[in-house]
Amino acid sequence: MGAVEKLIASIRTVLDFLLLHIANLFYPTKKSCLPPIKESVLMEPAVVIADKIRNGKLKAVDVVRAYIKRIEEVNPLINAVVKLNDAAIDEAKEIDEKVELELRGYVPEGGISIINLPLLGIPFCCKETVGVKGMPFTAGLVARAGEVASEDAPVIRNLKANGAIFIGVTNIPELQYWWVSDNKLYGRTNNPYDLSRIPGGSSGGEGAIVSSAGTAIGVGTDIAGSLRIPAACCGIFGHHVSPSVFPAEGMVPLIDRGALTARMFSFGPMCRYSIDIKPMLKAMAGSYISKLPKIDDLVDLKKLKIYYMIEDGDPIKTPVQHEIKDAINKIVSHFEDKYSVKAEKVHFEKMKRAFFMVLATMKEANAPRLASVLNNGSEINVIYELLKCLLRCSEHMLGTLSFAATEKYFPSKETQFTQNFLKVRDELKKQFYELLGEDGIFLYPSHPEGAPKHGTSVLKSPNVGYTSIFNVLSVPVTTCPVGLNGDGLPIGVQVVAKQFNDHLTIAVAQEIEKLFGGWVPPCIVDC
């Protein structure tokens, strides 16, 4: 690191110190606020619950009631769920009736049994930007207040077809274009481990309610870390599926923009237990699971090639906390000792330019300007709205407007500036794919620190580069919880593989869960 970079890194350290102490004045620490978990069913993996329901040992209606009760207990504190599904209990009763009939030997009409549906009776939530018929579909945008979805998104239809029961939609940033789940319609979502901190975004409400044991599983989306940042901040698992597996249908705002969708975007599972990732992924994908032909392949961990990188060296990002570095080193040592795998530490210098590669990719894809999407097609004056926002007179959020301004004034795809970053992206992808091959995985921090304080996200936005880099590389990533840091906040590690090798990242995530214990409840467990 040269003299200039050292100076910038020093300024970053001082800025983080000041941000923390200033934020503490407005958002004092509020830990251990959630009520205890008292229902044992809330502590079980989804696949275990489904097995008990299909065997008649548990009623789906009791499961749904337990989760809805939990939401009602925690939501006044975390503000994660914006609307519950009033029909969820009736849907659970219907499942119970069909299960009871089949257990008595009744053959369903058409011979179609529900007994073996993989997510039978499992409650799930999804972020408000994913369409669920009759539910709010505003993306937290004032101009869309009162909008409801006219139909289920394909991923929602697929989950329901696999036995899952939808119970509620969760909070997001305005138009899901920021990493703090706050908007003018629903307000701010808080982190369940410390209410003075963010849950991440854009799937922040989802991360918060899954971590709080308010739903068994959750549906997130990811175009720059939107489900992995909340997963890390809230101490759960989040899987960014290989881009191009899912069509981006049933979303608001529309993400299906050709090259951008194929390269960067994906839906993905969010859950507390790694064993639920694959069944949920397969259920969400439906027939599209054929794009992951190796998803059910057994993974021999002894034959893996492991590469890791502790930090990207970018001086404008927050330094990676030592607990996160220690976690990566512990994973490396574990695989070397238990599976005789020789791990190799590597460094991709180009990874520090993730933010510019994201913007260049959006320009390349001719994505509609956020400044237009914010106003349903008519472009707003971003600078004027920023000034209004600082005076608390705007209908839009500071983070969203900041991104809109950056996106608007970023050079067009025809300029040499943008072309240079597209070239860097393609060179990095080639190097990365050649290194990993078909049996390699890459370990990397999910975020350089635990969940930041409210009010600090704009000045900490470069930190999103730790997740967004993998969107531009078009690879699958599983974020894994690896315990709590010294402040009692969850920290996470990403497991990355070559495109369509999702089965490798999921298998390694299951091993990491055994090593660290997985999800740590944000409250007392009294059951």
Domain ranges of the chain: 41-111+122-366+413-516
Tell me what pLDDT residue 110 has: 74
Residues, the chain, total? Answer: 527
Q: How confident is the model at residue 488 (pLDDT cuts 50, 70, 90)?
A: very high
The answer for residues whose C-beta is within 8 angstroms of residue 22's C-beta and 6 or more apart is: none
Kindly report the number of other CB atoms within 10 A of residue 384's CB atom: 11
pLDDT digits (tens, 9 = 90+) for 88-102: 999 999 999 999 999
Reference 475, options 510, 435, 419, 511; nearest CA is 435
- Phi, psi angle pair for 298, to nearest 5°: -70, 135
Mean pLDDT along residues 162-189: 96
Mean pLDDT score of the chain, rounded to an integer? 94
Q: What is the pLDDT of residues 105-145, one digit of tens each?
A: 887 777 788 999 999 999 999 999 999 999 999 999 998 99
- pLDDT tens digits along 210-267: 999 999 999 999 999 999 999 999 999 999 999 888 877 888 876 555 566 667 889 9
Q: What is the distance between the alpha carbons of residues 53 and 276, in angstroms, rounded to a whole number?
A: 16
In tens, the pLDDT along 308-367 reads 999 999 999 999 999 999 999 999 999 999 999 999 999 999 999 998 999 898 888 877
| Cβ pair 482, 492 in contact under 8 A | yes
Burial tier of 286 (Cβ tally within 10 Å: 0-12, 13-18, 19+): middle
- Determine contact, residues 223/465, Cβ cutoff 8 Å: no
pLDDT score at 369: 79
Q: Which of 58-62, 89-93, 125-129, 175-179 has the lowest mean pLDDT?
A: 175-179
pLDDT one-digit tens code per residue, 274-292: 999 999 999 999 999 999 9
Apex 363 CA angle, 360 and 364, nearest 5: 85
Catalytic residues: 127, 202, 226
pLDDT class of 455 with cuts at 50, 70, 90: very high
Question: CATH topology for 41-111+122-366+413-516?
Answer: Amidase signature (AS) enzymes (3.90.1300)
Backbone conformation region of residue 490, classed left if phi is above 0, alpha if psi is from -120 to 50, else beta? beta
Structure tokens at 245: 């597996």
pTM across the whole model? 0.96
